[in-house]
Structure 1
């Protein structure tokens, strides 16, 4: 069993001397800390820093972000992926502006009611910004705590998250924000998933897994279900002015982002005919191929060109379609997969 006082002292002493310089560690503004925590979900620190600077420069206050149109917010998020994070955060900030006069609530129960705020985000923002005694349990903490206690519980289970939170609660009675950040930093820099730097670990004397030789066996995670692959056909369609037809997604996945018309492969040519209300000549072979990975599925995309030039005045399109000049691509927020297609078109 860990000696709480000596473990915490060793961990915080190491963190004070070795923590990485990050812009969100230079502020206690809960809005900025919240931005960083949302961006850091599923994304590496080195990627987030530039996005964080651009985002906070464009939306320096809650009011600025609340007043912004979602399309612009997504544009500043473009490339970070997991776009539901941006939409939920934007919605939550609008709630903060209207319900709490632009002040992020320091009451953790009120904060957790905001859209997109789960247990981890609640604990991270409340502890770092307001030093409230809430333990953060993310992937790094799951790994560190499992190894420290030689705990073989399945970390994918919600009951294990609750158990870890309960066990960590005494450690955040004071200096909660520092302790939580130190635990996450230890997992990121020392107690890594593969080849952990145990000999350099500041808390190695407290680690039961190191003593038992089980470090590489922890944490325990049940295997994920194999990703589903969806075969998609995507179509590059030009009008007489040389503009390209694009569509704004209305599905939950990548909602609000733009793409070339894309359909599941089985009946995609018929979908194009229905879209344009005419038979058109479509390239026999794809002009471009790519795969795009999501957390739960893979898109296997073949890109075809419609060889006929379309008279835009003769085609009635739904309001989520528009014609775009290739040089105006930066005015629209495209997912990474579509940027690959756009880059290929520009290089021709």
Structure 2
């Protein structure tokens, strides 16, 4: 084993965060946690993870769970396509692998929603397979370690880093610690803007001349702006929610109407809100419309909070509605 591997693993053993899903090495829990941690800090996703595991303790329970409950458990994490793929993957595991996740990276990659990083994390941490698990943290660590100043979004540069990571892998006995140590180093020490080089256990092996400038990525394209006006229909303290189309942003989830209701008794303009997705911004205005009749899509606030997966794009308006009701 290389000296920097030894130093890194020793640092990890003494300094890692006590993340239960990694300590237990349960494939199912590692899978769910890693999918949840995409686009979300681990500390922020932990409450969601604990709630999910309490209600859905294994793959079979996910496969049998209805979509409404799954979306409600996922509410607040965003990128709901991840949740849909979890269910697809669970069903496939029940049908093909007796309700278990397969143990090799190659087999895991064939499942819906599982990419190279997640497959590598499950295979190495849970099953001790000698494979890499390369996420943004690992790319950052290795781009600095080898002073790679090329654009890491380019395929040839990614492959260069993957080769370096693969060449650095220790034995099967150490692989779980090593991959977790790389993840942890990137999360705690080799952080994006202000790396804590004076605390880094492998600083003496690092070739970076300007660590904070790496990894190099081109500037992101300016996000498209879309203007939206939603109408929140209310009848006798009940709120009208509608299921969105099966395609497009927030597909299949619930939201508020984008058409003005008839029979309005009173209209109240709410505070506007800007919601930012990865590639688009919704600049949103909203009107609370008090109406004099209802249909089956009206629900109490309690019913919405308990059973309806309302995306975060609509939550600021929902909070204003709750404040209005509280003041009544």
For residue 279 of structure 1, report the CA deviation from its aligned partner. 7.7
Tell me if the contact between 1:232 and 1:299 (Cα under 8 Å) persists in the aligned partners. yes
Shift of 1:345: 0.9
Q: 1:230 corresponds to which residue?
A: 226
Q: 8 Å contact 2:270–2:320 — kept in the other structure? A: no
**Aligned residue among 240, 263, 270 for 1:287:** 270
Which residue number corresponds to residue 256 of structure 1?
252
Structure 2 residue 114 is the aligned partner of structure 1 residue 117? yes
1:55, 1:76 within 8 Å by CA — same for their partners in 2?
Answer: yes
1:34 and 2:34 correspond? no
SS at match of 1:208: coil
Paired residue secondary structure (1:230): strand
Larger Rg: 1
Give the whole-Å Cα distance in 1 for the aligned partners of 2:104 and 2:136: 25
Q: Is the 8 A contact 2:265 2:292 kept in 1?
A: no
TM-superposition CA deviations, 1:97-116 (whole Å, max 9, x none): 11111011113222111111
SS of 2:230 mapped into structure 1: strand
Matches within 5 A, 1:183-222: 183-209=182-208, 213-222=209-218
TM-score normalized with structure 1 length = 0.87
Quote the offset at 1:216 in angstroms: 2.2
CA contact (8 A) 1:292 1:298 kept: yes
Please say if 1:244 is aligned against 2:234.
no
In structure 1, C-alpha distance between the alignment counterparts of 2:250 and 2:120, rounded to whole Å: 27
Q: Which runs of 5+ in 1 are unaligned?
A: 263-270, 313-320
TM-score normalised over the length of structure 2: 0.92
The SS at the match of 1:86 is helix
The alignment status of 1:89 with 2:72, answered yes or no, reads: no
> Is 1:45 aligned with 2:28?
no
Question: What is the number of residues matched between the two proteins?
Answer: 320
1:13-65 deviations in whole A, cap 9, x for unaligned?
A: 11111111111122122111101110111111111211111111111111111
Match of 1:346 in 2: 322
Q: What do the CA deviations read for 1:254-303 (whole angstroms, capped 9, x no partner)?
A: 222211113xxxxxxxx43xxx6x586884x7323111111111111100
More moved, 171-180 vs 30-39: 171-180
1:125 Cα offset (Å): 1.2
Instruction: Give secondary structure in 1 for the equivalent of 2:162.
Output: helix
Q: Which moved more, 1:114-123 or 1:170-179?
A: 170-179
The answer to whether the Cα contact below 8 Å between 1:126 and 1:134 also exists between their aligned partners in 2 is yes
Contact residue 139 and residue 215 of structure 2 kept, 8 A:
yes
Cα distance in 1, alignment partners of residues 254 and 53 from structure 2:
24
Per-residue deviation, residues 160-190 of structure 1 (Å, max 9, x unmatched)? 2222111111222412222111111111111
Say whether 1:130 aligns with 2:105.
Answer: no
Q: Distance in 1 between matches of 2:50 and 2:115?
A: 24
Kindly indicate whether the alpha-carbon contact (under 8 Å) linking 1:171 and 1:179 is maintained by their aligned counterparts in 2: no
Q: Is the 8 A contact 1:71 1:256 kept in 2?
A: no
Aligned partners of 1:133 and 1:169 also within 8 Å: no
Deviation at 1:253, TM superposition (A): 1.9
Matched residue SS, 2:215: coil
Partner of 2:300: 325
Distance 1:104 1:311 in 2: 47
Query: SS at 2:241's partner residue?
Result: strand
Structure 2 spans left out of the alignment, 5+ residues: none
